[in-house]
Amino acid sequence: MRFHLATLDNFATWHHFREELYDDLDPAYSEAEIHRIANDPNMATYLVFEEVGNAPVGMLELSLRNIVDGCASSPVAYIDGLYVVENWQGRGIGPQLVAFARQWALGQGCTELAVDTELDNKRAQLFYRKNGFEETFRIVQFRMGL
């Protein structure tokens, strides 16, 4: 696999992968977020390409966060999104993405790497457990618009 730092030159692939990963994400919001990520030094997205044929097969969105529930250090490297094209799943790409995220985190001077999943996404929870993550706790978050 070949990892490529995503830029706005990769907008179409990046946007498509985000649509696949985030079910109900508004396309206009996703587009604005891509522009924000591309210009934020504390965020990075990597597109993953197969070696033969150069087809895009995955995406990894990363960020540095000052505070992460369950973590004791700061900043904490965070996997904001991990996506593997459906017909490429089960071929070991996911663990390669996690390994890449670990190396990115270490390169940022972090001592912890975190991620979250939806409470009902048992498949993702199992994947992250199998790849070295430990569950910290479960919460239901609320917000209030002001």
- Note whether residue 143 is domain-resident: no
Distance from C-alpha of 92 to C-alpha of 99, rounded to nearest angstrom:
11
- Note whether residue 135 is domain-resident: no
Name 61's Cβ contacts closer than 8 Å, sequence gap at least 6: 37, 43, 44, 45, 79, 80, 81, 82
- Note whether residue 146 is domain-resident: no
- Note whether residue 95 is domain-resident: yes
- Note whether residue 52 is domain-resident: yes
Q: What is the pLDDT of residues 66-98, one digit of tens each?
A: 999 999 999 999 999 999 999 999 999 999 999
108 within 8 A of 141, measured Cβ to Cβ: no
- Note whether residue 7 is domain-resident: yes
Q: What is the pTM of this model?
A: 0.92
Give me the number of domains the chain comprises: 1
- Note whether residue 137 is domain-resident: no
Q: What is the pLDDT of residues 111-138, one digit of tens each?
A: 999 999 999 999 999 999 999 999 998 8
CATH number at residue 125: 3.40.630.30
- Note whether residue 138 is domain-resident: no
Residue 38 lies in domain:
2-130
